[in-house]
Structure 1
Amino acid sequence: MNKQLKEIPAFANEAEERTFWETHDSTDHLDWTTAQSVVLPKLKPTTKTISLRLPQHLLDSIKIAANARDVPYQSLIKVWLQEKLHDR
């Protein structure tokens, strides 16, 4: 069964396009059965700098653990946080 698709209008700017898609169903305009997955290998996640106060002995222990694994201590902290979130 082929559904008659509506034409996507021309937009004057991004704000107009955003407003249109917020109020319209894309399935009326696009055939998603022909969509293909896309991999964006150069896309990097956005990072945010934070300030984290740790007791000196804890930071020293983290640095020792990171040094034993030959990774930067900030990277090790991120890995441990991610692992802990997945354990929940």
Structure 2
Amino acid sequence: MKKLKKLPPFKTDHQEENFWDKHDSTDYINWTKSHRVTFPNLKPSTQTISLRLPQDLLNKIKMLANKEDVPYQSLMKILLIRGMHALRK
């Protein structure tokens, strides 16, 4: 394993960004001891999809969403998540 270089002090975020744009992090950080982390409080990224549903089903979902006072797309996400959890059991 090569000897790691010491990181210089940064006075601003901009200074640090410029530094990392021009340097290889493996010269300064031992990535072999790193591990993946998750940030559960971050808003997950979303992707727009097109989904064809029977008109009757969509109407029922919209009526239920109206009754529950939530947008129908949000209700559909909740129902999909519940369905995924049920299938995993």
Shift of 1:41: 1.4
In the alignment, does 2:58 pair up with 1:62?
A: yes
Structure 1 alignment gaps of length 5 or more? 48-57, 81-88
Separation in 2, partners of 1:16, 1:44: 28
Poorly superposed stretches of 4+, deviation over 4 Å: none
Give 2:23's aligned residue. Answer: 24
Local SS of the residue matching 2:37: coil
Are the structure 2 counterparts of residues 65 and 13 from structure 1 closer, same or farther at C-alpha, using a change threshold of 3 Å? same
TM-score, scaled relative to structure 2: 0.56
Q: Deviations over 1:9-35 (max 9, x none)?
A: 100100000111111110111010000
Q: Match for 1:32: what amino acid? A: W
TM-score, scaled relative to structure 1: 0.56
Shift of 1:40: 1.3
Percent identity between matched residues is 42
Give 1:40's aligned residue. Answer: 39
Structure 2 alignment gaps of length 5 or more? 47-54, 81-89
Over aligned residues, Cα RMSD in angstroms?
3.3
Separation in 1, partners of 2:59, 2:71: 8
Q: Do the aligned partners of 1:63 and 1:73 also contact (CA within 8 Å) in 2?
A: no
